[in-house]
């Protein structure tokens, strides 16, 4: 299983939200770069960055911090939050980012996803599907739509999207365990896709449960910050699970 540590960016700091609520913010580290360097030093290879300010405003806000992390580490970096145009995607991909995650754009501007896949390829374009009770949430989780997560995923698969970060926002930041059934159902329904688990993962047992369910990659945020899944353990899991 591929382990992907997460850093959420707000006001140039590393933070965690509770269930996607911008009013329930905890600062994890004043220096996201220092945190990224620690992740690399532990032996992990990947990093998931979310520009929370960008997701809310619809434009990249923490780009300078993201570019610093890309230039100062050798991590494979994926970035989401506020990316709404091909030019923004290109800017990230030419400044050291390995993969760009399109979230709200997948629902609000599907043509952008189609064009991005055609221009940059499925290896560099990931779609993030965030939802609650099986329905999609957009704009930094501030707005919920009556569109099924599986319905949105099907339309993206038709465009050639291969990788999906799937987040149950009712679990995110809660340390209550991932929505394994939902993740498994989506992976089974779309067997040629890679479903990346995000939200609620709290310990190694959760990771093993996800692997048993057929999930090949998982994003770890809150459990890393609390120490329930410290970097050394994540590095061991990344090397040994599966």
Instruction: Say whether 33 sits in a helix, a strand or coil.
Output: helix
Residue that is written with structure tokens 């369910």 in the block: 213
Enter the pTM of the model.
0.92
Q: Residue 148, by phi and psi: left (phi above 0), alpha (psi -120 to 50) or beta? A: beta
Structural domains counted in the chain: 1
Residues labelled as active-site residues: 8, 130
pLDDT digits (tens, 9 = 90+) for 221-242: 989 989 999 999 999 998 875 4
CA distance 232 to 222: 15
CATH of residue 23's domain is 3.20.20.70
DSSP at 227: T
Range of 155's domain? 2-240
Q: Per-residue pLDDT tens, the chain, 242 aa: give them.
A: 899 999 999 999 999 887 667 788 899 999 999 999 999 999 999 999 999 999 888 888 999 999 999 999 999 999 999 899 999 999 999 999 999 999 888 888 999 999 999 999 999 999 999 888 888 876 544 455 578 999 999 999 999 999 999 998 877 666 789 999 999 999 999 999 999 999 899 999 999 999 999 999 999 998 998 999 999 999 999 887 54
């Amino acid at each position: 299983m591929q382990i992907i540590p997460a850093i959420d960016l707000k006001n140039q700091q590393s933070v965690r939200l509770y269930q996607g609520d911008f009013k329930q913010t905890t600062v994890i580290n004043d220096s996201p770069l220092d945190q990224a360097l620690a992740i690399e030093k532990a032996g992990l290879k990947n990093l998931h960055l979310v520009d929370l300010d960008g997701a809310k405003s619809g434009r990249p806000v923490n780009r300078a911090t993201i570019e610093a992390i890309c230039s100062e580490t050798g991590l494979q970096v994926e970035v989401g939050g506020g990316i709404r145009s091909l030019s923004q995607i290109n800017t990230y991909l030419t400044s050291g980012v390995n993969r760009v995650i399109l979230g709200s754009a997948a629902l609000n501007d599907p043509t952008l996803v189609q064009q991005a896949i055609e221009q940059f390829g499925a290896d560099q374009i990931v779609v993030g599907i965030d939802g609650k009770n099986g329905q999609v949430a957009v704009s930094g989780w501030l707005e919920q739509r009556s569109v099924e997560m599986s319905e949105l995923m099907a339309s993206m698969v038709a465009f050639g999207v291969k990788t999906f970060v799937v987040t149950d926002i009712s679990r995110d930041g809660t340390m209550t365990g991932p929505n394994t059934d939902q993740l498994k159902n989506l992976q089974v329904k779309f067997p040629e896709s890679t479903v990346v688990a995000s939200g609620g993962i709290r310990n190694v047992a959760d990771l093993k449960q996800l692997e048993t369910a057929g999930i090949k990659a998982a994003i770890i945020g809150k459990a890393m910050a609390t120490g329930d899944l410290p970097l050394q353990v994540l590095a061991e899991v990344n090397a040994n699970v599966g």
